[in-house]
Structure 1
Amino acid sequence: MKSLELKFLNEDDHIVTISLDQPVEPVDTQAVNDAMDEIITQNIFFSSGGDLVSKKSARIVERNVTPVEL
């Protein structure tokens, strides 16, 4: 399963991660950048360390899970 992780810094300088499942690939970096700017501008997410104040990074994460037979 893949997800797009958007990482921000809040007022306390802590990292806040917003994860979105099943991102469209290939990733449109300009659209991601614009979306992150809009999230900061609209101040739509709450974190315990205050408002989101800057972008840190964005990345695609792929998680593979293999069950173990017992």
Structure 2
Amino acid sequence: MAKTLELQFGTEFGKTGRISVDNPKEPIDEEAVKQAMEQIITAEVFTTASGKFVAAKGARVIDRNVTEYELV
């Protein structure tokens, strides 16, 4: 079972940019996530094809289960 925290940002060209964090510490501290997102925006360290991050849009935890089958 793999979990990922996905941070969603509004970009300067009106699109959505995302950053994924594997195996986030749980429970998720919403205030800490919001604060971290604001720091990422202020630092302007990420640039996407849709421009710089300008707003925090949301965050979500994605929980994924993978079952592998050997086909011999």
Match of 1:9 in 2: 10
TM-score by length of 1: 0.94
Number of residue equivalences: 70
User: How large is the Cα RMSD of the aligned pairs?
Assistant: 0.8
- Measured after TM superposition, the shift of residue 68 of structure 1 is 2.7
CA-to-partner distance for each residue in 1:51-70, whole Å, 9 max, x for gaps?
11111110111111111332
Match of 2:52 in 1: 51
Structure 2: unaligned runs, 5 residues or longer: none
Q: Secondary structure at the match of 1:40?
A: helix
CA-to-partner distance for each residue in 1:6-41, whole Å, 9 max, x for gaps?
000111111111000010000111100000000000
TM-score by length of 2: 0.91
Q: Matches of residues 14-53 of structure 1 in structure 2 within 5 Å?
A: 14-53=15-54
Runs of 4+ in structure 1 displaced over 4 angstroms?
Answer: none
- Give identity over the alignment, percent: 46
Q: Distance in 1 between matches of 2:42 and 2:66?
A: 36
Find the structure with the greater CA-based Rg: 2
Q: Greater strand percent: which structure?
A: 2
Q: Secondary structure at the match of 1:53?
A: strand
Structure 1: unaligned runs, 5 residues or longer: none
